[in-house]
Each structure stands twice: as structure tokens, then as C-alpha cells.
Amino acid sequence: MKVIITGATGMVGAGMLQTALNAADVERVLVVGRQPTGVTHEKLQELILPDLFEVSGIENKLHGYDACIWAIGISSSGMDEAAYAHITETLTLKWAKMLLRINPGISFCYCSAAGAGGKSMWARVRQRVESELLRLPFRHAGAVRPGIIRPAPGARSRTPGYRIVLRLLTPLFLLSPVWLVVVPSLFTTSDILGRAMLSVVRGKATSFILETADINRLGR
């Protein structure tokens, strides 16, 4: 399987990248992003684009891929709906439709967030993205909605508020195996999330929307 990953310099995407590189059935990984990951691996190729909306002349580099895992995410803090939707919705759907046109039958996994579908602005936007992706003719597709994530070693959230939360939770991460049993609907790990997202594009998910408990079942 040949996989495209976006957002690989963020916390979720960095963990996803390591999971994909370690997967026996993944033969090639193309990271698409604005900055290099700093990772060196025989399976890894990188496509650096200063502006992800500017895609003219790159389609030949996207041919032949079986799956895309979309892990680009931004905080809605201080943003109005139009600005937040420009990145979260417009960019995601632009790439999803382009990849389908280039690679008909490609599979797609979208990293959403716990609470998507709620009444807040960001939750409404996330749900719109999920709904639009569900309508597209991917071979396999799904949207994961992780709650609290224990990051992989060295992975760092790019959202300041979430970094503070993670620092406060660091002592509790030592009990990760316990939390996965006690509160599987609230807590997961980067490794489990990565395996779950790969399982989505392998066609092993039984529903399109995967909440945290579903992620833990699929990725363990």
C-alpha cells in the first residue's frame, strides 16, 4: 500500500507517520506539507508546498497512491468561522476531490475531533467536512474523532493550549494502560490512533464515524 499523509509535523500526523513507516504492508509514504519532517526513512518521500492551496504542476507526483490520511488540524481559537473553515473544510475537500480524480478508488481517513457535530463553531465545521467526505466515492473512508491523546515520544502539539493540557496530563500518561480500560471513550494513544487510521484505509472499519472508544477497539 502506498500512502499519502498530511499534517506530519503535528502531534497526530507525526505519530501517524511513524506508524505507517513501521507497517509491513505500507511500501511507500508521501508526506505533503509546508515544512520538512526531519525524518529519514527508505520508505519516505516528502513534497514540500509553501501553500497547500497552490497545487498546479504537482499532480504527476500524486499518481499511484492507494490511500490518504488527512491529519491537518488547526485551533479555532481567535478565528471566525470563515477563516477556520477555509483551512479545515475548503482545503481538506479540495485535496480529497483532487486525489480522487488522480487516483480513482483511493481510500481516505480524516482526523476529526471528539465533539464534532456539536453546537460550537468548530464542531459544526468539522461535521460538514465529515458529511462531504462521506458522499465522495472513496474505496474505503472514515473519520476518527479522538479525545485525549497520549502523544508518541518526541511528538509535540502545535496548539499552545493543548500543549499546556498535555504537560498537566503527563504524570497520568504513566497509567495509560489503566485509562484505556477505565475510560476508553475519552482517552487513546498516538500509536493506537495511527493503527486505527491505517485500519480505516485498509477497509477494516465498520462505520464511517469512529469515536474514541471505536478508535481503541480498532487500533489495539
pLDDT digit string (tens) for 130-165?
Answer: 999 999 999 999 999 999 888 766 555 556 555 555
* CATH number, domain containing residue 54: 3.40.50.720
Q: What is the pLDDT of residues 31-43, one digit of tens each?
A: 999 999 999 999 9
pLDDT of residue 170: 65
Cα(132)–Cα(130) distance, integer angstroms: 6
**pLDDT over threshold 60, residue 203:** yes
Q: Quick check: 46 pLDDT over 70?
A: yes
pLDDT at residue number 175: 56
Q: Tell me the backbone φ, ψ of residue 81, rounded to 5 degrees.
A: -65, -40
Residue of 164 and 25 predicted with greater confidence: 25
Q: How many CB atoms lie within 10 A of CB 154?
A: 8
Q: What is the pairing mode between strands 141-145 and 209-211? A: parallel
Q: Which pLDDT score is estimated for 187?
A: 81
Cα 166 to Cα 109: distance, rounded to the nearest angstrom: 25
User: What integer pLDDT is reported at residue 125 of this predicted model?
Assistant: 97
Mean residue pLDDT across the chain: 90
CA distance 188 to 150: 6
Q: Is the pLDDT of residue 77 over 80?
A: yes
Length of the chain: 220
Residue 204 belongs to domain spanning: 2-219
**What's this model's pTM, rounded to 2 decimal places?**
0.89
User: How much is the pLDDT for 120?
Assistant: 96
Q: What is the number of domains present in the chain?
A: 1
List the one residue out of 132, 144, 155, 157 whose CA is nearest residue 201: 144
Helix (H) or strand (E) holding 94: helix 92-102
**Could you tell me the pLDDT band of residue 68, with boundaries at 50, 70 and 90?**
very high
